[in-house]
Amino acid sequence: MRHERLVISRIVSELMNFFFSMGAHDFQTHVIRNDEGHEIRIISDYSGNPGGKLREMTRLLRMPRAREMEQYSWSLSGDISTGQEIYLVGILTDEVAVEHDEQAERVRITLFRKWN
């Protein structure tokens, strides 16, 4: 259980760092733990025109979960310059939905991580 809590907190931390690097002023997160796993809901704003970064983030978040790679979750560092941390978030989750409202400059992300 402790391992799961740490993984969930690191996922949230990496996404918060990602959006803060894109000029976010309003980052909201909601984590729900249920019988099937954890659902993480994130809503964030951003500034500028980061369309390419958001498309790449979405692609990386949609990578299939790789349970055999979960030991790498401990190397999450908050440095998003390579995108590897977002890739690791992707391989730590089972389901991802991303909604992007360009006019409002907001992104809504829902991640689901099933229990092992």
CATH of the domain at 57: 3.30.565
Is residue 116 over pLDDT 90? no
Is residue 86 over pLDDT 50? yes
Q: Provide the mean pLDDT of the chain.
A: 89
Is residue 29 over pLDDT 90? yes
pLDDT at 45: 97
Q: Which helix (H) or strand (E) holds 84?
A: helix 84-91
What residues make up the domain containing 63? 2-114
55-92 exposure pattern, b = at least 16 Cβ within 10 A, e = fewer: eebbebbebebeeeeeeebeebeeebeeeebbbbbbbb
Mean pLDDT of 86-99: 94
pLDDT at 110: 98
Give pTM, 2 decimals: 0.88
Closest C-alpha among 16, 7, 1, 30 to residue 93: 7
Mean pLDDT of 15-22: 94
Is residue 9 over pLDDT 80? yes
Backbone torsion region of residue 105, taken as left when φ is above 0, otherwise alpha when ψ lies between -120 and 50, otherwise beta: left
Number of domains observed in the structure of the chain: 1
| % of the chain with per-residue pLDDT over 70 | 88
pLDDT at 80: 46
Mean pLDDT of 39-44: 98
**d(C-alpha 82, C-alpha 57), whole Å:** 11
**d(C-alpha 32, C-alpha 55), whole Å:** 26
